[in-house]
Amino acid sequence: MLIVLDAVVSFRSVPRILELFHSQTSLELPWTPHFTSVINWSLRVGLGLLRQVCPTCEPWIAIIDYSIDIGTKKALVVLRVKTQSLRQRGSAIQLQDCECIGLKVRETVNHQTVCQDLEDIFAIAGVPQAIVKDCDYTLAKGVRHWSAKQGKPVPVIDDIGHCMASALKSQFEKTADYKAFTAALGQGAKCLRQTEFACLTPPKLRTKGRFQSISKLGEWGAKMLDVFAVKGGAKKGSVLAKLRTVFPGFLRMKPFIERFALTTKIVSEVMEIIKNKGLNKVTYQQCYQLSKTLPRNSKVKTHLQAWLKKHVQIQAELTELPLLSSSDIIETLFGNYKYMLERSPQADMNRSVLLIPALCGSRKEAVIDQALNKAFQVDLAHWEEKNIPYTVRKKRQEFFKHKSQKSGKIITD
């Protein structure tokens, strides 16, 4: 299981790796498990970890998010992170610092399902000090409805990364200067990509969530301004001559590029501080001073200062420790799970979603043994029947089994 979870190799590779160790080293193995056994053991660990979730006396914060759509389903995942983890780690938290306390798979997602799922999860795990989430409207409304049902409302922390991405998008996306800049880069990238100057190709803009990694583009633009800042003609065949050809009018965009690069640089510095040190009075002052270097009419400046003021008050009310203000760790968890799932030729969310609890927290031998003793093969089958009523594979089998292709009807039961 650790070969799969830590080395991140396919299940089918495990028997081959063990056989290689057996034949090429002094390691003696009485038998080599079949890869399906490794799958079942790994999923049993995930289910066992979920089954042993219970309240804790230590203060903690919940991080919640939905996975991307896999097939027709989404999974709501709730992580528990102890409030003191950020200080103990001394940097951004890692998956070892998290415990998956909730996993709900749904095909239809709205604020009511979010509210209901949170009620079920926190009824078992206890109520957190605060909830960290991104800017998703459905999540926000669901959390708000759940919090309203509590005796004392639970503070909600808006992820710093998503908030700053929204601010950057609001300030730049619809401006003529930004559109002209990205259009010029897109055209220039096509001319550079298959040449000896491909190393100077601008960062590729993501279709989704592009403003969460836009700082790379600002950094590239600032460096290219220095390259272009050469007076006079360029030597034929030189790098500068090529760049002037593929990026005509680049220097005319200098005022915008400088403003854009400065803004993204300040945002990156603020997020580095918040994500690694958390939010407290010291980091609040550091970030607020950085925000003052932004232009007076900057929307990013307004959003950043408002976020800082709101969340430093939450920190003061909750704890003396730095406040965890980023949900990046749950994105990392989803990324690891997606990487493992992509090996499937027909990706669909199935019982393999139980790998998510196994991908975080402690993987000590005692923890794994305890989890295995909490979930057996029959429990795995019951969980799948209840939470994953059908998959692409099951629908295909039923379709051909009942020969429903004659009527064109898809059986989903």
pLDDT of residue 318 exceeding 90: no
The predicted-structure confidence for 54-78, as pLDDT tens digits, reads as follows 999 999 999 999 887 666 788 899 9
Confidence of residue 195 (pLDDT cuts 50, 70, 90): confident
Of all residues in the chain, the percent with pLDDT exceeding 90 is 47
The pLDDT value given to residue 128: 93
Domains and CATH numbers, the chain: 46-158+326-395 (3.30.420), 164-318 (no CATH)
The predicted-structure confidence for 146-173, as pLDDT tens digits, reads as follows 998 888 889 999 999 999 999 999 999 9
pLDDT of residue 126 exceeding 70: yes
Confidence of residue 27 (pLDDT cuts 50, 70, 90): confident
The predicted-structure confidence for 356-402, as pLDDT tens digits, reads as follows 999 998 888 888 999 999 999 999 989 988 888 666 667 777 777 76
Task: For residues 294 and 297, give the distance between their C-alpha atoms in angstroms, rounded to a whole number.
Answer: 8
To the nearest 10°, report the CA torsion of 50, 56, 58, 62. Answer: 40
Of all residues in the chain, the percent with pLDDT exceeding 70 is 92
pLDDT of residue 411 exceeding 60: no
Task: For residues 397 and 65, give the distance between their C-alpha atoms in angstroms, rounded to a whole number.
Answer: 32
pTM as predicted = 0.86
DSSP code of residue 97: G
β-strands 156-158, 130-133 pairing? parallel
